[in-house]
Amino acid sequence: MRKALAVITFVLMAASVYAAFVYAPTEPKMGHIQRIFYIHMGTVWVATAAFILVFVSSIMYLWKGTRKWDILAYCSAEIGVLFLTITILTGSIWAKPVWGTWWTWDPQLTTTFILWILYIVYLVLRSSAGSDAKKAKFAAVFGIIAFIDLPLVYASVRVMRGISPVVFGPGGGGIAPQMMHALLINLAACSLLFVLLLKERMDLERMGDELMALKTREG
């Protein structure tokens, strides 16, 4: 089961690289740099899904109190931060030639940046919170508060800058069908990679638990 998943993920990743670099046509205005958008969209999609998962499993953990929800929240947050880091990096690489700057404080970028910081803080909190059940509860509470904060952050950045139209995505509305295919393959590949990483990471966490239990039992 795991092997099959790993193989499929690998094949899809390879296909997505092919689709992004060879199959998809070159964007007329931006040129080759636009190809980075496929991985950019893929990772941001996974990060979003991961953080929603953190929110949901945090609520479930506070409600049910079972360790599996806590493991899910923790591992999901870790992978979410990893993917969002890739999103921000690829976005910057794209923005430098196209917008002429690595970074600008527009509502979308600012919100993403704060999102990234919030979940890094989540991980800091986890590593600092001491004993296990307490750590899990604190992290769950922060995971919920952080998620609630996001729409407010987005609204506040718009208030700060004056409301600006949202222009995002390659070429706006109409994109070539091959581009759409490449994008979909990338989304699928990133999603599978996320599932695979999450599964492995959660198993690792469970093994850690087992080891701890064994250690305390044996003294």
The residues of the shown chain that bind other proteins, judged by CB under 8 A, are 62, 114, 117-118, 121, 124-125, 128-130, 134, 137-138, 140-142, 144-146, 148-149, 152-153, 155-157, 159-160
| Shortest distance in whole angstroms from residue 128 CB to other proteins | 4
Q: Where are the beta strands (DSSP E) in 89-198?
A: none
Residue 191, token pair as written in the block: 């999603």
CB count, 10 Å around CB of 109?
Answer: 16
| Spatial distance between the Cα atoms of 127 and 138, rounded to a whole number of angstroms | 11
CA distance 147 to 185: 28
Instruction: State the nearest-atom distance from the C-beta of 119 to other proteins, in Å.
Output: 10
| Cβ proximity to other proteins, 10 vs 138, nearer residue | 138
Distances (CA, A) of 163 to 149, 151, 152: 19, 15, 14
Nearer to other proteins by Cβ, of 17 and 72: the residue is 72
**CB of residue 90 to other proteins, shortest distance in Å:** 23
Q: The tokens of 189 are what?
A: 């590949």
Smallest separation, CB 149 to other proteins (Å) = 5
Residue 157 or 190: which CB sits closer to other proteins?
157
CB closer to other proteins, 136 vs 192:
136
Residues ≥6 apart with Cβ < 8 Å to 211: none
Nearer to other proteins, 24 or 70 (CB): 70
φ, ψ (nearest 5 deg) of residue 106: -85, 160
The CB-of-145 to other proteins minimum distance in angstroms stands at: 6
